[in-house]
Amino acid sequence: MTRPRIAIIGAGLAGVTLARRLDQHAEVLVLEKSRGTGGRMATRHKDGVSFDHGAQYFTIRDAGFHALVEPALEEGVIETWSTPVHHLTATGALEQREDRSPRFVAVPGMSRLVKWLARPLKVQFETRAIALEGKVGDWKLDCDHGSVEGRFDWVVSTAPAPQTASLLPLDPADQEALEGVRMNGCFTLMLQMKPDIDLPFAAAQVSHPILGWIAHNNTKPGRETGNHLVVHANNRWSDANLEEPPEQVQARMIGALEALLPVVRNALIASPVLHRWRYANVETPLGKPFLLDMDRHLAACGDWCLGNRVEAAFQSANALADALLLQMETA
């Protein structure tokens, strides 16, 4: 029997999880718009310095997710980040928060876990899907660099909900459900500081009109030495300023950081780097694990289905894999 051909859009955790589950039962091609895997589990490298500029850490609560990453833990691909996370108020008051679950990070950067998981998969990088043509069981993907070779029995999007809604011709009920998903933006500022700067914490969630998170990236296991700060603007401010000039956003974030933490004033030793995440966090999730259009042979999954945590991306993709494998068995 000919194995079905499946295109999966996105090589983040959801796309790679789904591809791993389906790879033994179908001919799977993962399409990724960037140069590497990981999605928002991202690491930026600049002049020998690295920053985790997307997801900062993850927890392991789901048994299936534990089974997926346990070999990575045994091989040292992921490790525990045991440094406490504090709460920092807008006035600079610092409180240590109780750790309810161990926090994990990939080593030497957050992007490594998905890269490690994707090793046996066929991934086509720098390929942005922009349109879907054809009919059920005979889909053709048009991309920014031309068409992807061949036709597909199934197309699955793991892209953020707004991008999925614009790409997949789902039925009206599913389109309406997608339009109800609310995702927030986030600006990430990456700063290389003087080595003698002594921050009073390794990581802090921040209650502030502009800032939402500050982390000393080098306190994570397996990182290079130095003072490399990752600063996130909060979602509300990011959404309100998403289209503002980057230099203006950067200046306001640096000003807010220096006012909150005077110790960092005049401490930069390299040019700041700013990254804009248009779809960073999930405010209103879909409320179910995935979308599956059996008539059109289209589907979608991702963290936006269930919530904000990294683990939600796995849970969504894993549930969709169960449904698709059942469909293949009964087809």
Cα 196 to Cα 210: distance, rounded to the nearest angstrom:
26
Assigned token pair, 97: 């928060």
User: Taking the complete model, does pTM exceed 0.75, yes or no?
Assistant: yes
Residues 6+ apart with CB under 8 A from 26: 3, 4, 5, 6, 153, 154, 328
Domain extent for 165 = 5-283+290-330
Note the maximum CA span of the chain: 67
Residue spans of beta strands (DSSP E) within the chain: 5-9, 27-31, 44-46, 49-51, 78-80, 85-88, 94-96, 104-106, 123-124, 129-135, 138-143, 146-147, 154-157, 182-193, 203-206, 211-216, 227-233, 273-284, 291-293, 298-300
| Chain segment 154-208, per-residue pLDDT in tens | 999 999 999 999 999 999 999 999 999 999 999 999 999 999 888 999 999 999 9
Which residue type does 294 have? M
The number of folded domains in the chain is: 1
Pairing between β-strand 85-88 and β-strand 94-96 as defined by DSSP bridges:
antiparallel
Residue 57 is part of a domain; what is its CATH number? 3.50.50.60
| Chain segment 69-123, per-residue pLDDT in tens | 999 999 999 999 999 999 999 999 999 887 788 999 999 999 999 999 999 999 9
Rg for the chain, CA atoms, rounded: 21
